[in-house]
Structures are given as C-alpha cells and as structure tokens.
Amino acid sequence: MKAFIVLALFAVAYAAPIEDEDDKIVGGYECRKNSVPYQVSLNSGYHFCGGSLISSTWVVSAAHCYKSRIQVRLGGNNAFQPEGASNSSTFCKVIRHTGAAARSTGQ
C-alpha cells in the first residue's frame, strides 16, 4: 500500500504543470527588440489584447478586443512593462466589423 501511495505521488508530481515564462504562446519565443514594429499592445490600464499596425493611422485587432477606452502602444518589447522607447496614443474611433457577432465582444 505504501508503495502505491509513493507511486501515486510521483505520478502527480510528474504530471503537474511547471511554471515557465515562455508559456504564453505554444512554441513561441521572445522576439529581438524592434523586430516586429507592426505589433501593438492594446491597453485599458493594463495590457489586454494585441493588434497589428496596418498603416500609420490604422490598427486591426480581434472583435473581442473591444473596450470603451483603449490606449494603443507600439515600439515596446514587453507589453507588461512600459518602456521609455515605446509610443502610446489613445484611439479616436473604433469601427466594428458589421459581421462581428455581439456575443464575441460580450455586448
């Protein structure tokens, strides 16, 4: 019986997930600084979504990334730690795709 309990404890310890800093995207890796200048961080007091800069004045993101007040940051390398070299701007207008279902944004 003791052997079974010890074996069960080892099995649980082996199966338990290990905290890893690189676990945000499966198979992902940290990019070199300034290697993805089109990637933006959408913030509302905290990073909540990402987007892509498609022109000097337009950002595209997923429909579920909608909030009433969004700050767009670009030029940083860590969305959770604002950097001196990053630029930020509060958006002027949000245009939701007409085909986006209201349930995808929670509204």
Q: What pLDDT is attached to residue 1?
A: 74
Distance CA 68, CA 76 (A): 23
Q: What pLDDT is attached to residue 22?
A: 47
Q: What's the mean per-residue pLDDT of the chain? A: 75
* pTM of the model as a whole: 0.59
Give the pLDDT confidence of 45-93 residue by residue, as tens digits. Answer: 888 999 999 998 889 999 888 888 888 888 777 766 666 556 767 766 7
Domains of the chain, earliest start first: 33-107 (2.40.10.10)
At 31, is the secondary structure helix, strand, or coil? coil
Give the pLDDT confidence of 4-42 residue by residue, as tens digits. Answer: 776 776 666 666 555 555 456 677 777 787 788 889 889
**How does 70-82 read in b/e, with b if 16+ C-beta sit within 10 Å?**
bebbbbbbebeee
